């Protein structure tokens, strides 16, 4: 790729097992990227998790407001800063991918940054190791951030 840096992949590991802690961390990452003026796509496992993220982005922190849309919703606006989806590639110019899916999305390399959000659940960690190996074997720059709940 001429004139474009490789996608930076960051693994954020929270040492707590609950799915909610993982999803809350995804909200915190989205909030930070949004305050930096970035456009974000949160890639979930399925529709149920996408809907959970839709709700959580309104409630994860007192006084929080993160403008977001579910992909394919009736009121969908492509200009909204944060999109949530599963199984589909986001449109538009989006810089940050927050991956809550078990797989590496086929479209990950079009983003400046990928945030892989991991908790202390054994199956989540095992799948994350496979994704880490995938990125590493292809030469993507990697970083790991261990966070306390």
Q: Is the CB of residue 104 less than 8 Å from the CB of residue 131?
A: yes
Considering its fold, how many domains does the chain have in total? 1
Give the CATH number, domain containing residue 24.
3.40.50.10110
Question: 3-class SS at 115?
Answer: strand
In a domain, 68, yes or no: yes
In a domain, 1, yes or no: no
In a domain, 35, yes or no: yes
> What is the pLDDT tens value at each position of the chain, 149 positions in all?
445 688 999 999 998 777 678 999 999 999 999 999 999 999 999 999 999 999 999 888 877 778 888 887 666 666 789 999 998 888 778 899 999 999 999 999 999 999 999 998 999 999 999 999 999 999 999 999 998 75
In a domain, 87, yes or no: yes
Structural domain that includes position 93: 8-147
* Burial class (CB within 10 angstroms; exposed 0-12, middle 13-18, buried 19+) of 90: buried
pLDDT at 136 (0 to 100): 97
Half-sphere CA count of 35, side-chain side, radius 13 A: 7
Q: Is the pTM of this model over 0.85?
A: yes
In a domain, 118, yes or no: yes
In a domain, 3, yes or no: no
Our CA angle for 57, 140, 66, nearest 5°, is: 10
In a domain, 2, yes or no: no
In a domain, 17, yes or no: yes
């Amino acid at each position: 790729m001429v004139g474009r840096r490789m996608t930076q992949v960051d693994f954020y590991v929270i040492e707590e097992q609950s799915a909610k802690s993982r999803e809350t961390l995804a909200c915190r990452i989205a909030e930070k990227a949004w305050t930096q003026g970035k456009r974000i796509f949160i890639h979930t496992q399925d529709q149920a998790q996408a809907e959970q993220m839709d709700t959580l982005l309104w409630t994860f922190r007192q006084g929080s407001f993160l403008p977001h849309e579910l992909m394919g919703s009736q009121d969908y606006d492509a200009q909204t800063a944060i999109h949530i989806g599963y199984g589909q590639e986001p449109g538009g110019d989006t810089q940050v991918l927050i991956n809550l899916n078990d797989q590496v999305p086929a479209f990950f390399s079009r983003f400046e940054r990928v945030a892989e959000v991991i908790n202390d659940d054994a199956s989540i960690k095992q799948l994350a190791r496979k994704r880490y190996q995938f990125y590493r074997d292809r030469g993507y720059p990697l970083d790991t951030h261990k966070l306390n709940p």
